[in-house]
Every structure is written in C-alpha cells, then in structure tokens.
C-alpha cells in the first residue's frame, strides 16, 4: 500500500545568517501565501526559538510543501518500523 504525506517546510535564516527549517507535518495543505507569510513573520518577530543562544527563525526566506511517497516492498508481521504498515 502506497502512503503519501505532505509536510509544510518553513525556511528561515537564523541569527548567524544560516538556514533553519521548521517542518510541520500536520499543517493544512490549503494555506495561502498570505497566511504562511503572516505566521512566519510572527514567528520571526516573537523570536522565541533559540538553541545555544542563537535565534533559530529570525528572517523568513521561503515556504514549501514537501510530498513524500512510500512504496513498501515487504514487511514482516513483527516489524515495528514506524513507516511499516500494519498487517491485518
């Protein structure tokens, strides 16, 4: 059984002008450009995400949906791999 998922990727520059990506796997797939830009501007303005003193999402750069398709070849009944489908 093929499984497809979409993840919204928000791409920012951090305080050190390096790329930081925020991945949202459960975001609506019907968001408009204006809605996404507004949220990204708010995230940058609030500057609440940091790691080791570096603001992670300080300058919005881009946003995109990334689609992932999984085409299983086989799986065993005992498989506990998170992407393996349940076997009934």
Q: DSSP 3-state assignment of 51?
A: strand
Domain boundaries, the chain: 3-70
Provide the CB-side half-sphere exposure for 50 (13 A, CA). Answer: 9
User: At 7, which helix (H) or strand (E)?
Assistant: strand 3-13
pTM (two decimals): 0.78
What is the DSSP-derived secondary structure letter of residue 46? H
Summarize the confidence of residues 69-78 as an average pLDDT.
Answer: 85
What does the pLDDT read at residue 87?
45
What does the pLDDT read at residue 88?
42
Separation CA 38–CA 43 (nearest Å): 9
pLDDT tens, residue by residue, 29-67: 999 999 999 999 999 999 999 999 999 999 999 999 999
């Amino acid at each position: 059984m093929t499984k497809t998922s979409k993840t919204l990727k928000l791409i920012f520059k951090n305080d050190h002008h390096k790329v930081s990506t925020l991945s949202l796997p459960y975001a609506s797939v019907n968001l408009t450009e204006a809605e996404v830009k507004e949220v990204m501007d708010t995230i940058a303005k609030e500057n609440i995400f940091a790691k080791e003193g570096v603001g992670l999402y300080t300058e919005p750069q881009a946003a995109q949906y990334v689609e992932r398709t999984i085409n299983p070849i086989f799986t065993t009944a005992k498989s506990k791999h998170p992407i393996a489908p349940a076997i009934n």
